[in-house]
Structure 1
Amino acid sequence: MNQPTPLARIAPPAPQPGHAPTAARLNRRQKAAIIVRFLLNEGADVPLSDLPDVLQGTLTAQMGSMRYVDRTTLISVVTEFAAELEAMGLTFPHGMAGALSALDGRISPQTAARLRKEAGVRQFGDPWEQVRAADIADLVPIIQAESTEVAAVMLSKLDVARAADLLSRLPGDTARRVTFAVSQTDAVTPGAVDRIGLSLAAQLNDMPPTAFDDGPANRVGAILNSTSSALRDDVLTGLDAEDQAFAEQVRRAIFTFANIPGRVGPMDVPKIVREVDQSVLVIALGAASANDLGEVAEFILENMSRRLADAVREEIEERGRIKPKEGEEAMMQVVNGIRRLQASGEITLIQPEEAENDD
């Protein structure tokens, strides 16, 4: 059963003939102070921090100047406020900043940036949220370009683990200077910290919008995932000759049937088996067993239920020889099934770096 709201728990008093509503004697500031005080007393979460600073100050001063309100006045003010709420059909965000926030993700980044610049609208709510969420690799060049004092404030605002990671990536002398500067941050004002956060967030966003969500290595890797192994090997050989570093990035982005033992956790194999039709799985594992991918087939078979594994082995024997093209298409379907599970968050692939460290 729904609990009544604080406003609904007050029963209106019996009307008194010839007695004007007491709320009429109050101005809007006093009424607002009464409503806020009532809601706070009822345990409601009133996000007053969303109000402009001027209004927060006015409301606080008004509450500080008031002493006592009788029950009749309280009920009259609450009833009037509830009536205004019920009569309200639609609200719009206040000002250009509110409008841009409401339309975030629905208008192009270029248009949003232009409108913010023209209106002089602050782009970031809490800029430190964006700084804390940024990749450490993006923060390293920024912290090296900033003054030691600014770097110390940034380090202090990051989570301990991320701050330690960032510090470990700095040259030794820079890390020592920044660490010492942290001891000098006691006198830094909240306003200064906010301005520093705005500057850092602006630097993180001071880059042209990109047309692609993924980097070039991931895009090439995704394409090569769906090609034949012969074409994939040929392309990678060509990339090695042109740009060996990029070719290595592409190899890390590629996930093929051969990568399954190194990048799929044994506990995730049953999910993969359920995702792929059993006839496809039989062809894929049969083709793998007949070629140099026998260890991949064994990895999958050993980590599914014994009963199902025995049934699949029998079907592989009955199936006999599998054409190479048919086997490769089946293996690709298994890989696509793994990719779907990864995209939906049902499984997490082991990154190549993690697999190398385990070795």
Structure 2
Amino acid sequence: MARVKDDYRSLTGQEKAAIFMLSLGDEHSGRLFEMMDDEEIRELSQIMASLGSVSSTVIERLFVEFADQLSSAGSLVGTFDSTERLLKNALPKDRVSAIMEEIRGPAGRTMWDKLGNVHEAVLANYFKNEYPQTVAVVLSKIKPDHAARVLSLLPENYAMEVIMRLLRMEAVQKEVLDGVEKTLRSEFMSNLARTQRRDSHELMADIFNNLDRNTENRFITALEERNRESAERIKALMFTFDDLVRVDQSGIQILLRQAEKDKLAMALKGGSEEVKELFFKNMSERAAKMMREDMEAMGPVRLRDVDEAQAEIVVVAKQLADAGEINISQPGEEDELVF
């Protein structure tokens, strides 16, 4: 007699699909089979036929996982590279290049949102060569605190010209706004995307984040002996798995929906108690219990496997942060209290 399958963790993805199809019943599984090609049907049917007995516990776990993944709207995280590859399949090369130049620039849905994410010194330097009226239009469209910082960096006489035009400004015609926006996109934003260089310390922090723990510590220690200031800057810029405590609760919940559950369990196995508790309290009681059981069932694990899992979760968190979906506070950043 075939052994009853009662270890959920040992199931392959294909076996999970086979169990799921058998659980749906003839009508629903038939609709899914209609969407598959012959090879997929043959492969899945063979696995279904060889499953043997499957315990009710395994079936329950499967449906819990499916519901969890379905509610997350998938676990895809887009990147610049994957987006560019997709566009190249549908658009001419020169158009793809223009689009990618723009989106690699500052984040934001509109041009004015993007300008709000450009450092004030960069904007002020660009505006020095523009007409005061153009600068006045732009400053009227971005947030007042950002506009104030830009204005304070302009030469005084020039800044006063801009202020006078702001004072006399009436409703700006749509054609004028469209013209300013087009100029900013074609001249300023495209040049910014091409010329903007990453700080070398940020680059090294990203590289160090992808090293295993022993190699990272070895390099940091060696760098501290040669250049302590650079070592401290890199350490401040590095983002580790335990730094996820700087993500708020809504961000952790988004991350939970995006991260692979097996990888998260492995990552939490070597995480600090603080970061474990942060994740567990943002799960349902049932999901947290299942995650703890999975972690306990792993037994001793290799440090290298933990490092790799934590690195993958960190990559997902940073991609979500870059996309503006989650917020990662800076170390020591606190809300100011007013008494």
TM-score for both structures, normalised by structure 2: 0.49
**Greater Rg, structure 1 or structure 2?**
1
Greater RCO (CA < 8 Å, at least 6 residues apart): 2
TM-score for both structures, normalised by structure 1: 0.46
